[in-house]
């Protein structure tokens, strides 16, 4: 019988959900869903000093926003210490792990001497029990670290789902510390026990972990545990060719949520960073799951491209329901201290502007003009010349006299004013926009005016 595919994402809660981790989560999730498997969320919180609840909350919120639903979890490593201790006890017993009493000062001295001899620094296995070797008695008052007794020869080999076959000679690998002197297990050990206990069949993770995998494979073997398949996903590079980082702009999923991106756009865009399905650029969550079979994962780094993300987001904004966009715009306006509701006029405003917006922040920029006094730039304000003011006042009167406030009536009032003053449409429409909207460029002026109240439009024109 074939094993159920089980994947996981295992973020460390030491900050927000990084885009790179979100992409790995997305791949792991899509892979599990494609094969009808299960996806697990594990919180790797063994770095006690740097892990925070706030970070856990942000990670959970970002996963929810992206729609990466998990079948198990969140499972916290710090709640599994008993289990790790039990495994350590077995390993000490079996001789696949041992206590090392070397102090940091002694280890420094050891490395110093190795450097002086021109050797690559490594742990010299001084506390590793070996046949015929007599170990000194454990020193008083030194809490030992526990090290993994890595095989001394042979080669570790695996067929990476992304990178293909990889081999590392064991002689290149030190006896790794698996429990620190304070009793907390280290990443490379806890991750193996967890992936084993949680029956993980496929481990997708960032490239930066590829050097850890040989240790982990050796620990799996030492525990007699079945190996998962590993897939190491290349890094994401910023515009400057450097690894995407905080210094080079927003790297948290939450920042993109706040920046007015839609989760389906983010999901679509992230999926294309290091994976492809033919030439497809725009696809739904359902299509992604249908196509994501573990093939066509790129071996080379992906390039973060804000312009493409904007393009993808603009596509989804155009497609989104007005109700949903109105609710998002209301949230964006609230951030600016503007109180609004997703009422009928709001729905119509959203419908009018959404085609020209790449984000809901841009959409809120448009809609904000309905809630604040116009503040035209100096250049725009220059259009409000003394020569045009009589026409604007005549238009105000014509608009004030309208029995119905709709696009057709507004348009008729505009035409009537044009004729009476011998003007062409742009000569009147531009200053009207500046006076009422505070900007010279908008969609068709009658459509924009219609979504203000009659009183506000008349008032803004008369005030000039």
The residues annotated as belonging to the active site are 246
308 contacts ligand GLU (rule: CB under 6 A): no
The least distance separating ligand GLU from the CB of residue 78, rounded to whole angstroms, comes to: 13
Kindly tell me which residue out of 17, 25, 41, 44 binds ligand GLU, with binding defined by CB under 6 A.
Answer: 44
Q: Does 45 bind ligand GLU (CB under 6 A)?
A: no
Query: Which residues are registered as beta bridge partners of 179?
Result: 146, 185
Q: Any contact of residue 460 with ligand GLU (CB under 6 A)?
A: no
Q: Report H helices in 224-304.
A: 253-258, 263-271, 285-291
Kindly tell me which residue out of 205, 232, 272, 349 binds ligand GLU, with binding defined by CB under 6 A: 205
Contact flag: residue 10 with ligand GLU (CB under 6 A): yes
Helix (H, G, I), strand (E, B) or coil at 242: coil
Least spacing, CB of residue 313 vs ligand GLU, in Å: 27
Interacting residue with ligand GLU among 5, 7, 12, 200 (CB under 6 A)? 12
Shortest distance, position 36 Cβ to ligand GLU, whole Å: 22
Q: 10 or 398: whose CB is closer to ligand GLU?
A: 10
Distance from C-alpha of 150 to C-alpha of 218, rounded to nearest angstrom: 7
How near is the Cβ of 40 to ligand GLU at its closest, in Å?
11
From candidates 11, 13, 294, 438, binder to ligand GLU by CB under 6 A = 11
Cα-to-chain-centroid distance, residue 195: 23
DSSP string, 358-374: SSHHHHHHHHGGGTS--
- Helix%, strand%, coil% for the chain, nearest 5: 50, 10, 40
Among 19, 173, 178, 191, binds ligand GLU (CB under 6 A): 191
Closest CA to 84 of 192, 235, 241, 231: 192
**With contact defined as beta carbons under 8 Å apart, do 189 and 148 qualify?**
yes
User: With respect to ligand GLU, which residue has the nearer C-beta, 220 or 283?
Assistant: 220
Closest CA to 447 of 411, 412, 413, 407: 407
- Rounded to a whole number of angstroms, the minimum distance from the CB of residue 203 to ligand GLU is 6
Residues 277-306 that bind ligand GLU (CB under 6 A): none
Minimum CB distance to ligand GLU smaller for 77 or for 417: 77
Q: Which two tokens stand for residue 390?
A: 């009589």
Q: CB within 8 A of 40, min separation 6: which ones?
A: 6, 7, 8, 9, 70, 71, 72, 73, 75, 198, 200
Residues in contact with ligand GLU by CB under 6 A are: 10-12, 44, 191, 205, 209
């Amino acid at each position: 019988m074939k094993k159920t595919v089980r994947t996981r994402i295992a973020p460390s809660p030491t900050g927000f959900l990084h885009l790179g981790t979100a992409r790995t989560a997305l791949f792991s999730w899509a892979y599990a869903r494609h094969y009808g498997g299960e996806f697990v969320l594990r919180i790797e919180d063994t770095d006690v000093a740097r892990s925070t609840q706030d970070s856990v909350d942000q990670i959970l919120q970002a996963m929810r926003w992206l729609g990466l639903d998990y079948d198990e979890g969140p499972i916290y490593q710090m709640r599994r210490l008993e289990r790790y201790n039990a495994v350590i006890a077995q390993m000490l017993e079996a001789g696949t792990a041992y206590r090392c009493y070397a102090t940091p000062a002694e280890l420094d001295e050891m490395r110093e001497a190795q450097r002086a001899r021109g050797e690559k620094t490594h742990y010299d296995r001084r506390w590793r029990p070996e046949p015929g070797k007599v170990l000194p008695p454990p020193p008083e008052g030194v809490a030992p670290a526990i090290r993994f007794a890595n095989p001394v020869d042979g080669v570790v080999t695996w067929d990476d789902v992304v990178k293909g076959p990889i081999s590392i000679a064991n002689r290149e690998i030190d006896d790794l510390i698996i429990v620190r002197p304070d009793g907390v297990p280290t990443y490379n050990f806890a991750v193996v026990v967890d992936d084993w206990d949680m029956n993980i069949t496929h481990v997708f993770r960032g490239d930066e972990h590829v050097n850890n995998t040989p240790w982990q494979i050796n620990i799996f073997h030492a525990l007699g545990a079945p190996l998962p398949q590993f897939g190491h996903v290349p890094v994401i590079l910023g515009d400057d060719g450097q690894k995407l980082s905080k210094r080079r702009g927003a790297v948290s999923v939450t920042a993109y949520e706040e920046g007015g991106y839609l989760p389906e756009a983010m999901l679509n865009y992230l999926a294309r960073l290091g994976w492809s399905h033919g030439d497809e650029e725009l696809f739904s969550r359902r299509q992604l799951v249908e196509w994501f079979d573990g093939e066509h994962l790129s071996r080379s780094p992906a390039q973060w491209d804000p312009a493409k993300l904007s393009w993808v987001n603009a596509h989804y904004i155009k497609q989104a329901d007005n109700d949903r966009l109105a609710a998002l715009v209301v949230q964006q306006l609230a951030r600016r201290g503007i109180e609004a509701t997703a009422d009928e006029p709001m729905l119509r405003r959203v419908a009018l502007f959404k085609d020209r917006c790449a984000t809901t922040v841009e959409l809120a920029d448009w809609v904000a003009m309905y809630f604040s006094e116009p503040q035209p730039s100096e250049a725009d304000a220059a259009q409000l010349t003394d020569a045009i003011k009589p026409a604007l006042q005549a238009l105000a009167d014509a608009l004030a006299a309208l029995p119905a406030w709709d696009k057709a009536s507004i348009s008729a009032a505009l035409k009537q004013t044009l004729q009476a003053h011998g003007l062409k449409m742009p000569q009147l429409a531009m200053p009207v926009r500046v006076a009422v909207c505070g900007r010279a460029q908008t969609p068709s002026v009658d459509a924009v005016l219609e979504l203000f109240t009659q009183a506000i439009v008349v008032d803004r024109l008369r005030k000039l």
